[in-house]
Chains A and B, each alone.
Chain A
Amino acid sequence: MKRPSWQSLLALLLCLFGGVTLPLAVAGTALPFSGGESAAILLLLLGSVALSLSNMPPVAGSIVLFIAVHIAAFLLVIGIAGNEGAARLSFFALLLAGWVLAWRLVTILSAIRPATRTGQRLLSFFIPFLFGLWILILWEGFTRGAGIPFVLLPPPSSVAARFVTSLPILVADVEQTVFKSTLAGYLIGCGIGFLVAIWADRVPFLRRGMLPVGNVVSALPIIGIAPIMVMWFGFGWESKAAVVVVMTFFPMLVNTVAGLAESGHMERDLMRTYAAGYWQTLFKLRLPAAAPFIFNALKINSTLALIGAIVAEFFGTPIVGMGFRISTEVGRMNIDMVWAEIAVAAIVGSIFYGGVALVERLTTFWHPSVRGG
């Protein structure tokens, strides 16, 4: 018999406490938990505790544990909807028991070393997924269970509902903020940064003068120029694009200049023995060698560009855009809409970043950092 884990023991204690202090919700609510529901939740959790204490085979056991714990959590979360603020201590104890069991599950899964690549990949996706899922479950359970006012923190289910019902608005906002301001600014800013870097690289005097300036400017709160740009270029997307241009220019400049210095003397001498000209050396040797640095800047800039466009919209926009929506819906206390917009920003941000990373993998497949991973 192996030593029982602290998670299993804690879950057992929480289950016993929850079982003793039943019912789950205070008497007299609109939709109380039925006796069957409460019993099912308790049995599922206790069964999971027993399973996690036994010598279960890791894979099959984890699957059963996953299903049992999540049905129990699902029943708890579904049951509390409509009974906002009516949860008793028993409810929170059982919810926490489910969480602790999920932690046990993650610990077991983390120790599994799958033999196949697919297994590894599946696991490296599934474990973070469980973590995210439990953030949502706890968020839902605690906001509804404790009856936290809607304007403070809406439960994720109502954010999701809001997301679905206001899809056209969200799409219009993305179109304005991402496809107009961010992309235009990003392309122009990165493009100019790249060209200036190549120019600076050709003139050593310029490089020595510009690099320190660029490094200092990279640390400044450039976002502060947003109100000035709004004044110059008006409320439309052009002013946001201008902010994005300034924000993305310096990281691109600094990284590209660093990247162009990356190719070694040996390789450059080899190009000279081939009688290659400046442009041939640039395109065939130095730019490919600089690619990891350039992509690094492109990735940093993908996040910066979105931040720049959204924050610039706080200073004034037409009546569409993600930053505009966030600042006005906050003012109207429609916090669920704000969360929906933040979810959209998160999705767009990761797609943007992921896209750049994908292009990087496809174009710099020869680089050790990509080949090794």
Chain B
Amino acid sequence: MTAFREKIIPVSVVVLVILAAWYAFAILLNAPFQTDINKRLDQKQDLVSFVESTWAQRKPVLPAPHQIASNFFKNTFEVRVTSRRSLVYNSWVTLSSTLVGFAFGTILGALIAVGIVHVPALDKSFMPWIIASQTIPILAIAPMVIVVFAAIGVTGLIPKALISAYLSFFPVAVGMVKGLRSPEILNLDLMHTYNASRSQIFWKLRVPASVPFLFTSMKVAVAASLVGAIVGELPTGAVAGIGAKLLAGSYYSQTIDMWSALVAGSIVAVLLVAAVGVTGRIVERRMGSRGA
């Protein structure tokens, strides 16, 4: 009951206020075009029908939420899943390269973290570069990766997945290094008194200690790899995927299409982050964590 009062009511009020503001802005931003139409057609509208028609334009400056919702619904459930227009199809294209890239990036990041923790030379020489690389806009290489791979005949999923992998690799490596180093001297000493070997210390102490860190950084990484996949779809000239839908929408000023592609991307993002979070909670519970 307190959860209801403390959380659900405030959140729904904020969401409702945002929606109301959205409708208001839709009137405001679409009004000039509507007055223009009315002037040209030489028709007079009363206030109510004027407001209604600002919410029902075909290419509005800011589409009203219900227009986006109906477009989203139509392109998700009423169009065949295999069709080019289907948001399910386009989301799947983006999602598949996100997942492939995310998996590769996470594995690579974890392996490099293991190397950094065990080889002092790597720690001293490579780690500063990993940290520094977080401050630079890596996403800028996306168009080049796509075009260069297209030049040697590799198109489709692989180049996009590479960008996603590259973007997700850094947060995972940094988080995993932190996690593998999180056992304190006390724990390490205990392992020493048990005469544990290096590999035993690694598998029985360091790896379990790093799991919470791994999942926290995987949440960041999965969001980053989705962004990477979406941006990776831009320079291919709008073939398929959420990024391609956005680009096509901006070519033809199909604002409603663009917004519903954005909604699709957001839903994919929320689902991905939630999936990582739930997996993390299940894994931690299986490993005997009592939860924070």
Contacts and interface: CB of A to CB of B under 8 A. Distances in A.
Interface of A: 103, 106-107, 109-111, 124, 127-128, 130-132, 151-153, 205-206, 208-210, 212-213, 216, 219-221, 223-225, 227-228, 230-232, 302-303, 306-307, 310-311, 314-316, 322-323, 326-327, 330-331, 333, 335, 338-339, 341-342, 345-346, 349-350, 352-354
Contact of B135 (A213, A311, A349): A349
A300 to B, nearest CB: 9
Given A208-B10, A231-B250, A326-B143, A350 B124 contact: no
A128 B123 CA distance: 9
A223 B246 CA distance: 11
A227 B235 contact: no
Q: Chain B binding site: helix, strand, loop or mixed by DSSP?
A: helix
A206 B14 contact: yes
Given A128-B129, A219-B270, A331-B147, A311 B258 contact: no
Contacts of B269: 219-221
Contacts of B231: 223, 311, 314
Given A131-B125, A327-B235, 11 more contacts: A106-B125, A127-B124, A151-B151, A209-B13, A221-B269, A223-B230, A224-B265, A227-B247, A231-B255, A306-B137, A311-B140
Nearest to A111: B120
A103 B255 contact: no
Nearest to B131: A128
Interface of B: 6-7, 9-15, 18, 29, 61, 120-121, 123-129, 132, 134-137, 139-141, 143-144, 147-148, 151-152, 219, 223, 226-227, 230-231, 234-235, 242-243, 246-247, 249-250, 253, 255, 258-259, 261-262, 265-266, 269-270, 273
Contacts of B18: 213
A131 B6 CA distance: 52
Given A111-B120, A311-B231, A220 B265 contact: yes
Contacts of A330: 143-144, 147, 235
A209 B124 contact: no
A353 B135 contact: yes
Given A219-B223, A310-B140, A208 B15 contact: no
B230 A346 contact: no
A311 B126 contact: no
A305 to B, nearest CB: 9
Contacts of A354: 135
Given A110-B124, A208-B11, A331-B147, A311 B250 contact: no
